[in-house]
Structure 1
C-alpha cells in the first residue's frame, strides 16, 4: 500500500486554450505603474472542489472546462496575450489570442485521506509550481492545472502573471469562468481601464514616499528575468511554510484584546489584529535587537481610494505596497494594540494625494530608466509581508459541484522569509486561515510562543513543510 508521501500526481495532457472566437486586433493593453512593479512574478493558488455529480466521466469534465475557458477568454483577451516591450522600453500586453495553458492531471489519492486540507502534502504538485517568468515572449499569462482525484474531488490550480493582474482580478476571473461554465451571465464584467492610473502630466510628488527603492536598470529585453533584487535571488535560509487556522471565536478574542489595550482605537479589523499578532510574535521569536528596524509591508488597494473610484471589475493591479518600518524594540515591548494601531494609522495615512504621489514618483524614476523594488527585506529574516484576502469572493467560485472545500495561496520560498497572509475559510464569518513562511528555526519557536498560541487555542495548523 502506498504511503501518503509516495502518492503521485501524473500529468496526462497539456494544451493551449484560445478564445473561442477571435478578439478585436490589433489591440494593446497598457500596463500601469502599479502593474510594472511586479515584473516577472507568478502567483499560484489552488481551489479544491467536491465531486462533479453532473458529469459522466473525467473526459466530459475536462472538455467542459476547456470549452467554458475558451468562452470566457473572449471577455478577457488580455489573459490570452503576451508581454512585449515597446520602443520606449515599457512593457505592454499584445492581445494576440495566443492563449493560456491548460494541464490535465490525475492523483492517486483521496481528499478524505487527510483530516484537514490545510495539511494536504500534495499541494505543491497541484499547479505548475514555477514562480517567475523566464521568457516573456512565449510565456502564457495564465496557466491552469485540473487534477482529478480518486474520490471524485477536483483541484483547480492556477498561476497568473502578476504583471497583468492582482489577486482580486484573478479571483473575479475565476468567478466569471465558473459562471460561464454553468451557462450563467458574468456577474462582474472586466473593465480594461489601466489608463485611469496614469501619472499626472507633469508628474508631481507632493508627499514623501519611502515605500520603494530605485536602482540602475540592468540592460534587458522582454525575454529577460526581472531586474528587481527581490525576485532575482532565492533565499539561502531553510524556510518552513505552514498554515494556521483561527476560529471565529479566536479572532473575536484577538480583536477584543486590541480593543481593550492601552492603544485601543475604534473598531479594529480582523486583518489589523491578526497581522499585528503575526508581526509581534515573529519579531519576538526572531529575537531581533531593539534598535533593528523591522518593516511590515502590505498592499493597500487603490480601487476604492481613487477619485473617482476605479470602476467595478477593474482589471489590473490595484495595490500599492506600503512599507512600515519600526524599531524591533517598540514591537516587542509594547502591547498588541500598539502594533495594531501602527497598522491602522498607516492605512489611514495612505490617502488619495499620497497614492497619486506614489504613481507619479514611479513615473519619474521609470522614465529615468530605473528599476524598482520594494523597501522591504524579503529574505533577511527581519521583516513581515502580509496581504488581506479575507474580503475576496473566493468561495463564490462554483463550477457546478458546489462551493470550494478549500482554497490555498501557495507560498513559494522565493516570496521570502516572513510572510503572513490572511485568508477566509469555507466556514465563513470571522474564521481565518493564515499561511506563514519563516526560517525553520523560528517557525518552531513560533509554535511555542505564548502570545501567538494564546490566541490559537485549537492549535490547528498544517505540519511544517521545509524548503532549502
Structure 2
C-alpha cells in the first residue's frame, strides 16, 4: 500500500489538558538536580500499539478520570518551568496539566506495523519541546490515535529533565496500575528552593558532557546535521550467535559490533573514526522504584587502538572493563555556574544506552499488553546514539531474558544506509528488516 502524503495519515487532532485531581497547594516548587539540568535538552518519546480488544469500551472520559488520580502522585510533572533569580530553572507546581491529544489514522493497526517506516512513528507522539515560553510549555504530552477498524497508538512525550527513561517508563506503567484500580501513594510536596553550592576544584571536564551554545528558553540543541532514526529487531538466535562470536556479554558485544560498523562508515566518509564513546546504564544504587530521577551511570571509553582494525572481542572488553564513570564530574560541571549553562550528553560522543531493564511492556489496557512498543530520544547530538531495548516478545518478565531486542539508531542523515550494509555483513540485520 502506497501513500503519497504521510502527514494525511494522522489527522483530526484535538487538544486538551489533564492534570491532578487535587491541587498541590500554593507556592509549591520542585527543584531540579544537577543531572536533571544536564539532560534538559533531551526528550524521551514512546509509542505503544494496543489491539482493538485492549481498548474495547475504554472511553476518553475514563482515561482522563484515571489520569487525575495518576497525576496526584506525579503532580510536579504537570507544572511549568520558571527560573530563579540566578537563572537556574525549577518547576512551579501550578497544576497546569499535561497536554492531551486525540487523533485519527486512516490505516489499520496491522497496516501501520507492516510499513516498517520507523521515522513515521513520530506521527503518534508529540514532538513539542520546552519553550520558547517556559510558562506555557508542558513537560508531558500524551497522544491517543485511533486506527481504522479498532486499536490505538498511545504516544508518551517526556522531558528528560523530569527523569531518565527508567523513571518515565515506571511513571507511565504506574498509570496502568491505577487504571487497574491500584491505589497511588501521594508524595509530599516541596515548597523550598534549595541553595546549590558552586563547587571548587572541579576535576577535568567530563568527556561525556558537551556544553552547547546558549539556547535561552527554547530547550533544544542546534545540530550541524539532521538526525535520522532507524530501528531493527534482534532475534534470540542472533543474540546467541553474537555471544559466541564476541565471547562477551550481549550489550557490550552488540555495541562493539555497531561501534565498528559506524567507524567504517565515518572513516569512508570523512577519514575519521569515533575513538571515544559514552555508555549510559541504570544506576541500581540510586534508582528507587516510584521516584522520578535522572539516576543514570554515565561512563566513557576511549580507544587507543584503531576501531576499524580491532577484534570485536577487544572492543567489547574495553566497553565492559575500561569504562570511566563520569557521573560525579557531570554534576560538578553543571554546578560551575549554578545550572544556567546548556549541555548535551546523548550524541556528545557516540552514545550507547542500555535500556534492557526497562519494563517496556508493563503498561496494560484492561489486562492487555501492547502489541509493540518503541522508544527513542529527541535532542541527540551529531555523534549519534544507539538504544538497546527489550524486544516485542519480552512481555512476561519486564523485558529481561533472551526473547529478543529492539535496537534504535539515531544518526546523522546519510549514514544509515551504509550502516545497514555493515550490520548485514555482521549478521545483525536480516533481509526481512530491509524490505
Unaligned runs of 5+ in 2: 395-400
Paired residue for 1:245, among 230, 233, 236? 233
* Mapped partners of 2:320, 2:113: distance in 1: 36
Shift of the alpha carbon at 1:54?
6.5
- What is residue 14 of structure 2 aligned with on the other side? 13
Shift of the alpha carbon at 1:121?
6.5
Q: 1:435 to 1:355 in 2, by over 3 A?
A: closer
User: Within 5 Å, which residues of 2 pair with 1:239-278?
Assistant: 239-259=227-247, 268-278=248-258
Instruction: Tell me if the contact between 1:79 and 1:142 (Cα under 8 Å) persists in the aligned partners.
Output: yes
For the aligned residue pairs, the C-alpha RMSD in angstroms reads 3.3
User: Within 5 Å, which residues of 2 pair with 1:171-210?
Assistant: 171-186=169-184, 205=202, 209-210=206-207
Shift of the alpha carbon at 1:33?
0.2
Deviations 1:160-193 (A, max 9, x none): 111122211110111011111121235x987989
User: Within 5 Å, which residues of 2 pair with 1:25-424?
Assistant: 25-52=26-53, 55-56=56-57, 60-114=58-112, 116=114, 118-119=116-117, 122-131=120-129, 133-186=131-184, 205=202, 209-214=206-211, 218=214, 220=216, 224-226=217-219, 231-236=220-225, 239-259=227-247, 268-287=248-267, 293-302=274-283, 304-305=284-285, 309-326=286-303, 330-347=306-323, 349-350=324-325, 355-363=327-335, 365-367=336-338, 371-374=341-344, 383-400=349-366, 402-410=368-376, 412=378, 415-416=381-382, 418-424=384-390
Deviations 1:360-409 (A, max 9, x none): 3432x123x7624347865xxxx522211111011111021511111112
- TM-score normalised by L of structure 2: 0.85
* Mapped partners of 1:50, 1:219: distance in 2: 41
* Mapped partners of 1:255, 1:300: distance in 2: 20
Instruction: Tell me if the contact between 1:41 and 1:162 (Cα under 8 Å) persists in the aligned partners.
Output: yes
* Mapped partners of 1:425, 1:293: distance in 2: 27
* Mapped partners of 2:71, 2:346: distance in 1: 36
SS in 1 for 2:277: strand
Instruction: Tell me if the contact between 1:323 and 1:376 (Cα under 8 Å) persists in the aligned partners.
Output: no
Q: 1:373 to 1:12 in 2, by over 3 A?
A: closer
Instruction: Tell me if the contact between 1:62 and 1:104 (Cα under 8 Å) persists in the aligned partners.
Output: no
SS in 2 for 1:386: strand
Instruction: Tell me if the contact between 1:212 and 1:372 (Cα under 8 Å) persists in the aligned partners.
Output: no
Deviations 1:210-264 (A, max 9, x none): 433457x8595xxx224xxxx4324445x543211110110121122221xxxxx
Q: 1:132 to 1:281 in 2, by over 3 A?
A: farther
* Mapped partners of 1:49, 1:401: distance in 2: 11
* Mapped partners of 1:452, 1:85: distance in 2: 49
Unaligned runs of 5+ in 1: 260-267, 464-468
